[in-house]
């Protein structure tokens, strides 16, 4: 049976980065830039005051102090957003507010707190200023021609602000993937239906929707397909307009597990089936018309684990990103026994202790015991060859990336 690492690299290699598209900057956060952006302007675009105060000629304030103030004539006032036509001469000042353009002739700003108004037209200045004091120079943040955003960068809130500052409303980014989600099974009913004997509520669509959303992609729910080839074909056909499809259930060896057959009958390929992992062994991966299809097992834990291990890195790749797992060292509280031959993803809860991080197995580890996931905040990923881990061992834990410790 295919080993975990081999399967992951095979799947990842067959996934392509999605094409670029133009989006409004408010929709671009977290997406990957598909272009270099150079500034065509200086920011700020004019010399302006960093403080509320008076624009002056620095030489006029020479030696000014509390006991020996300098007297200046106030000839104008400039609120932010306005300019003055005056040109400052010796012994003159212009009242100026933060962000307003420095008037010609002035070369410094005295802050309001270091002055006193004698009357409407006269101030006392109590502090000497040097040329350039309290002035924000044109281009001090960004110069025309500067590289602002490089292709491949994951856009941050500051990048969005920078684009806005430059008057750029749209940016070319790698498309946000739309991921179709289809549950399968005659026993599966939706959560607004009354639970009849023999039926099971659809939880996989809901956990998968949430997992896809946390990746920064767009989940699209396609409902529940019956365990018939006809219904599966119809629903899978609908999914092909999206960037990829995740199914849950119907990929094992049961009589009604038709997902793989249907992919083949729809002229697709089933490239991978069954991986030496626990939980999640029946996992299938294939393509129809170059659209990736992840056939996840139906069991509620297997479905989430195989998403985390295989689908998530692929969604990141589609978005032009590399998924990096958050790994921490922790001390394993209890011993753990496993069978040789499969990689096992043991769900653990990690807590901080005075000796460092402590990892505790979250009880019964069956592939349908969703509580083992809900109590967990990480995986203890145990290689195929491991058969036993002793209590007190220092182990690597893959933290769930949506959990803060």
Please report, as ranges, the residues that interact with ligand AMP according to CB under 6 A: 183, 185, 187-188, 200, 202-205, 248-250, 252, 254, 297-300
Of 384, 395, 389, residue with least CA distance to 359: 395
- Name the minimum Å distance from CB 249 to Mg ion: 4
- The DSSP annotation for 330-367 comes to EEESS-EE--TTSEEEEEEEEEEETTEEEEEE-S---T
Q: Which of Mg ion, ligand AMP, none does 317 bind, CB closer than 5 to 8 A by kind?
A: none
Q: Fill in the per-residue mask, 163 to 202: x = in contact with Mg ion (CB under 5 A), - = not in contact.
A: ----------------------x-----------------
For residue 49, the partner it binds in Mg ion, ligand AMP, none, with Cβ less than 5 to 8 A by kind, is: none
Q: What residues form DSSP beta bridges with 22? A: 172
CA 2 centroid distance within chain: 31
The item of Mg ion, ligand AMP, none sharing an interface with residue 169, based on CB under 5 to 8 Å by kind, is none
For residue 146, give the 3-state DSSP assignment.
coil
Distance of closest approach, residue 224 Cβ to Mg ion, in angstroms? 10
249 touching Mg ion, by CB under 5 A: yes
Positive or negative, the Cα torsion across 269, 345, 303, 18? Answer: negative
Question: Is residue 289 within 8 Å of residue 266, measured between CB atoms?
Answer: no
- In the complex, what is the shortest distance from the CB of residue 232 to ligand AMP, in angstroms, rounded to a whole number? 12
Q: Where are the beta strands (DSSP E) in 90-164?
A: 92-96, 108-111, 115-119, 122-125, 135-136, 147-149
Please state the closest distance from residue 316 (CB atom) to ligand AMP, in A.
Answer: 24
Give least dist CB 145 to ligand AMP, A. Answer: 55
* Residue 250 within binding range of Mg ion, rule CB under 5 A: yes
Rounded alpha-carbon distances, angstroms, from residue 261 to 14, 88, 241: 21, 84, 20
Which is nearer to ligand AMP, 84 or 204 (by Cβ)? 204
Nearer to ligand AMP, 219 or 378 (CB): 219
User: Does 268 help bind Mg ion (rule: CB under 5 A)?
Assistant: no
Q: How many CB atoms lie within 10 A of CB 243?
A: 22
Q: Which of 26, 49, 166 is CA-nearest to residue 97?
A: 49
**CB 368 to ligand AMP: min, Å:** 6
Q: Which residues bind Mg ion (CB under 5 A)?
A: 185, 249-250, 298
């Amino acid at each position: 049976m295919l080993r975990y690492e081999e399967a992951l690299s095979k799947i990842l290699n067959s996934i392509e980065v999605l094409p670029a598209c133009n989006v409004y900057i408010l929709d671009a956060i977290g997406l990957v830039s598909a272009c270099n952006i150079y500034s065509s302007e200086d920011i700020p675009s004019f010399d302006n005051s960093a403080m509320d105060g008076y624009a002056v000629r620095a030489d006029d304030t020479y030696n000014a102090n509390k006991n020996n103030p300098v007297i200046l004539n106030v000839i104008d006032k400039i609120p932010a957003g306005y300019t003055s036509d005056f040109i400052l001469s010796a012994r003159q000042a212009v009242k100026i507010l933060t962000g307003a353009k420095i008037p010609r002739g002035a070369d410094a700003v005295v802050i309001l707190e270091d002055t006193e108004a004698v009357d409407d037209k006269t101030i006392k200045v109590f502090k000497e200023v040097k040329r350039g004091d309290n002035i924000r120079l044109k281009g001090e943040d960004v110069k025309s021609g500067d590289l602002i955003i490089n292709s491949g960068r994951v856009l941050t809130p500051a990048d969005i602000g920078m684009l806005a500052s430059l008057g750029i409303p749209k940016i070319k980014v790698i498309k946000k993937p739309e991921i179709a989600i289809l549950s399968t099974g005659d026993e599966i009913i939706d959560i607004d239906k009354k639970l009849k004997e023999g039926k099971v509520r659809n939880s996989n669509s809901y956990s998968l929707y949430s997992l896809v959303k946390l990746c920064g992609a767009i989940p699209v729910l396609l409902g529940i397909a019956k365990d018939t080839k006809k219904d599966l074909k119809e629903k899978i056909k609908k999914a092909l307009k999206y960037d990829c499809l995740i199914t849950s259930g119907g990929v094992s060896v049961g009589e009604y597990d038709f997902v793989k057959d249907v992919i083949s009958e729809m002229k697709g390929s089933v490239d991978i089936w069954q991986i030496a992992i626990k939980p999640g062994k029946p996992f299938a991966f294939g393509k129809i018309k170059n659209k990736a299809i992840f056939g996840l097992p139906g069991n509620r834990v297997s479905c989430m684990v195989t998403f985390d291990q295989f689908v998530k890195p692929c969604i990141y790749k589609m978005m032009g990103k590399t998924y990096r797992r958050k790994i921490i060292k922790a001390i394993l509280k209890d011993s753990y026994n496993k069978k040789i031959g499969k990689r096992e993803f043991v769900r653990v809860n990690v807590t901080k202790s005075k000796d460092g991080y402590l990892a505790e197995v979250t009880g019964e580890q069956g592939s349908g015991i969703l509580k083992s996931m809900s109590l967990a905040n990480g995986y203890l990923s145990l290689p195929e060859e491991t058969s036993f881990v002793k209590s007190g061992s220092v182990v690597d834990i893959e933290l769930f990336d949506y959990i803060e410790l």
